[in-house]
Amino acid sequence: MHGPASPGWLLVALCAASGAYCLLRMRSPVEEQRRSAGAEALMGFGMAAMAVPAAAATPPRWAWFAYAAVFAAAALRTLWSVRSSPHHLHHLVGACAMVYMAAAMATSPGHHEHGGGSGIPLVTGALLVYFIAYVLRSGARLLPVAAVAGDSGTLGGTPRTLGWGDRPELSQACRLSMGIAMLAMLVTL
């Protein structure tokens, strides 16, 4: 979040690309995938906005409060969705992490220029441990495995073509990218 400019812009590009892909996934015919993709798109674009290097643009203090409010609302909405799908627990942790980072930036206005710890070390450490585990798990899920016998990519006996928004390996790579970006942002907090 506000470290050197080159990695900051790479982080912005990665998060914005992930958010854009998640918008593409929102066109899926599967309702649960659309809902999940919407939450992930908000996370990707929010992370891109928060990762803009301070040398390029230093947001006013109220902007950090606005980020915190947006992600607090997203966390409350996600909390409601957790009842039906445990997958949303990760979205809840991500939204809470965004609220925490925005609040930390809002309460330490000098952090932009000087760097240094502005978060609560115990909370930052817990979030780092969670996202490290998530990134390792997500990365392991992308490893190639033997094809399942009889799975020819059919739908009701007819071959189907997966659209860009329905590719499970791409959505997993998107989640992995955002997890890595979250780690980078937490480390610089």
pLDDT in tens, 31-61: 878 888 888 999 999 999 999 988 888 888 8
122 has pLDDT over 90: yes
How does residue 144 score in pLDDT terms, banded at 50, 70 and 90? confident
Q: Is the pLDDT of residue 26 over 50?
A: yes
Element (H, E) at 153: none
Q: What is the pTM of this model?
A: 0.81
Span 73-99, mean pLDDT?
90
Residue 125's pLDDT is 95
82-91 own/partner pairs: CB under 8 Å, 24+ apart: 85/32, 87/36, 88/36, 88/39, 90/134, 91/36, 91/39, 91/40, 91/43
